[in-house]
Amino acid sequence: MTSVRSRRTGSWVASAMLVCFAAAGLSAQLDPSQMSGIPRPDPNLPDGVITVRVLRGSFANNVVEHPVELRAGDMVSTVDTDAEGRATFSSPRAGSQVQVATSLDGERLESDLFQAPDRGGVAVMLVGVVPGGDPSAAPVARPGRVTFGQDSRILIELGEENIEVYYLLDVLNVADAPVEPETPFEFRLPSGAQAGTVLQGSTPRTIIDGPEVSVSGAFAPGLTPVRVAYILPYSSGSLVLSQTFSADFDQLLVFVEKWGAMDVASRLIDRRGEMPADASGGSPLLRAEGARVAAGLPVELELSGLPHHSGWPRTVALSLSSLIVALGLWGASGTGGSDTETQRIEVLQARREKLFADLVKTERQHRQGKMGATRYGTRRAELFSQLERVLRDLDEGLAPGTIGTGESTPRVSTA
C-alpha cells in the first residue's frame, strides 16, 4: 500500500509540472483578443484579488500607467496599470457583481459581469487594437539595446549556512517601439547556485533552465520586470559572489541583510551606507551603490563576517553516527541488506512527511503575511525540489521486488 501511494504521489508531482509547462507554451500562441473581457479564476492570486492586464494588440505590447476602473454597483475604483500592464484591485464584498473597464485609443473596453471572488482571485485581460493596423498584429520589433533601469537591484538575505540572492531587475527600453536585443538576453547563475526560481511579478517570458536564465522575445517600450532568486551555500565566514549580466546597469545598487560584523566590498562600489531596521521594515541593511556597469563585466561582491558554524564538530558527530549505525547493522541478523534498505525507506518516509509539513507551514505563513513574496517563492521552490527527490527515491526503493528478494520487475515511468 505504501509503495502504491508513493508512486502515485510521484506521478502527481510530475503530471502537475507537465500541465504547467503545457499551459505556459499554449498561452504564448493564443490571440489575446479572443480572451479580452473574459474573467478567469486564478487560484495563484491571493484571496479576493482582481488583476486586469491591458494590452494593445498582443502580449508583447503592455499598456502601462493607464487607468482601469472596477465597478461594483454605484462604487467605482480606479487603479493605474504597472510596468507589466496590470492593474490590481482588492475586490469588494465577495459574491457581489463587478465589472472592469478602460478606454484605450478612443475605444471602450469592458469585461463581462462576474462575481467578486472569495477564495483565490480573478484575472481579466482588456485588449485594444494597434492604431491604424490589424487589430491582432503586434508592433514590429527592431534590433537594439536595452539596459537595467536605475531601480534595478541585487538583494542578499541570510539563510541557514547559505545566502538567498534576489535579482530584482527592470529592463529598460527607451525606444518608442519593441526592441529585440542584438545579443540574446540570458545569463548564467554563479557556480553552486541552488533552487533557482522565477519570482512573482516577473515577465512571463522569464525562463530558468538549471543555472541558465533567459528572457525570450522583444522588450516593449518602458520597463519590463525580471525577477529571479536562488540559494548559494557557504561554509566559512567569507564568500565571493560573481555574476555576469547581459545588459548594462545604469547604476549598480546592492542591499545586503546585515548580521553582526557582516560587510560587503567590491571595486565597483563607490558609495556605502546602512539602513536601520525601522527604515527597512525588517533587519538592518547594508546599502552599496556604484556607477554604470557594462554588460559582460562581472559584478563581484565579497561578503565577509558571515555567521557560520565550525565544520569539525559536525564531521565528528557524523562519523560517530555512521559508526553506531554500522555496528548496529553488523550485529543484526543475516538479512542485513534487507534491514538496511528498510531503514533507508523509513528515513525517506520521515523526510517526506517533514517536507509536507514544512510546505503547509510555508503556505500558512505566506497567507498570514508573515513571509514576504520573495522569501516565499524561494522557500517553496526549494521544498518542492527536495520533495521531488525524496518521492523519486521512495518510488525506486519501494518498487516490487527491490526489497528482500533477488527478483526484479520492470520500472514504470512516472513522467
Per-residue model confidence (pLDDT) at position 153: 93
What share of the chain has pLDDT > 90, as a percent?
28
Better pLDDT: 404 or 384: 384
Q: What is the pTM of this model?
A: 0.47
DSSP letters of 335-388? -HHHHHHHHHHHHHHHHHHHHHHHHHHHHHHHHTTSS-HHHHHHHHHHHHHHHH
Topology of the domain comprising 146-304: Immunoglobulin-like (2.60.40)
Q: Do domains 37-128 and 146-304 have the same CATH topology?
A: yes
Q: Rounded mean pLDDT of 162-174?
A: 91
What share of the chain has pLDDT > 70, as a percent?
75
Tens-place pLDDT, residues 147-163: 998 889 999 988 777 88
222 torsion bin: left (phi>0), alpha (psi -120 to 50), beta (else): left
- Domain layout of the chain by residue ranges: 1-31+338-402, 37-128, 146-304
Tens-place pLDDT, residues 356-394: 778 777 777 767 666 777 777 788 888 888 888 888 887
Q: Which class is 37-128 in CATH?
A: mainly beta
Better pLDDT: 231 or 407: 231
- 62-71, 145-154, 333-342, 354-363: which has the minimum mean pLDDT? 333-342
Who's near 218: CB < 8 A, 6+ residues apart? 60, 141, 178, 179, 180
As a whole number of angstroms, the distance between CA 289 and CA 292 comes to: 10
